[in-house]
Amino acid sequence: MANFENITVEREGSIATITVNRPKSLNALNSQTLRELTQAVRESADQRAIILTGAGDRAFVAGADISEMAPMSPWAAREFSELGHVLTALIEDLPCAAIAAVNGYALGGGLELAVACDMIFASENAKLGLPEVSLGVTPGFGGTQRLVRLVGKLKAKEMIFTGDMVDAKTAYDIGLVNAVLPREQLLPKCKEIAAKIATRGPLAVARAKRLVERGYDMPLRAANRQEAESFALLFDTEDRREGMRAFVEKRPPKFTGK
- For residue 3, what pLDDT is reported? 83
Comparing C-alpha atoms, which of 26, 25, 30, 23 is closest to residue 69? 30
Q: How far apart are CA 189 and CA 96, in angstroms?
A: 18
Catalytic residue among 112, 124, 158, 227: 112
The mean pLDDT value for 15-35 works out to: 95
Q: Is the dihedral of CA 29, 35, 39, 41 positive or negative?
A: positive
Q: Which CATH class is domain 7-198?
A: alpha beta
Model confidence at 1: pLDDT above 70 = no
Answer whether 178's CB lies under 8 Å from 120's CB.
yes
Answer whether 113's CB lies under 8 Å from 136's CB.
no
Q: Are strands 166-167 and 127-129 parallel, antiparallel or unpaired?
A: antiparallel
The mean pLDDT value for 73-96 works out to: 96
Catalytic residue among 132, 158, 213, 242: 132
The mean pLDDT value for 34-55 works out to: 97
5 annotated active-site: no
Angle (nearest 5°) at CA 30 between 189 and 122: 20
CATH number of 202-248: 1.10.12
* Three-state helix/strand/coil letters over 127-154: EEECCHHHHCCCCCCCHHHHHHHHHCHH
- For residue 230, what pLDDT is reported? 95
Q: Which residues contact 164 (CB under 8 A, 6 or more apart)?
A: 129, 131, 158
- Mean of all residue pLDDT scores within the chain: 96
- For residue 95, what pLDDT is reported? 95
Q: How many helices (H) and strands (E) does the chain have?
A: 11, 10
The mean pLDDT value for 176-189 works out to: 97
- For residue 123, what pLDDT is reported? 97
Tens digit of pLDDT for each residue in 119-163?
999 999 999 999 999 999 999 999 999 999 999 999 999 999 999
Q: Is the dihedral of CA 164, 167, 172, 176 positive or negative?
A: positive
68 annotated active-site: no
Answer whether 127's CB lies under 8 Å from 166's CB.
yes
Calculate what percentage of the chain has a pLDDT beyond 70.
99
Distances (CA, A) of 39 to 11, 43, 50, 245: 15, 6, 13, 38
Model confidence at 233: pLDDT above 90 = yes
Dump the DSSP string for 78-133: HHHHHHHHHHHHHHHH-SSEEEEEE-SEEETHHHHHHHTSSEEEEETT-EEE--GG
What residue spans define the domains of the chain? 7-198, 202-248
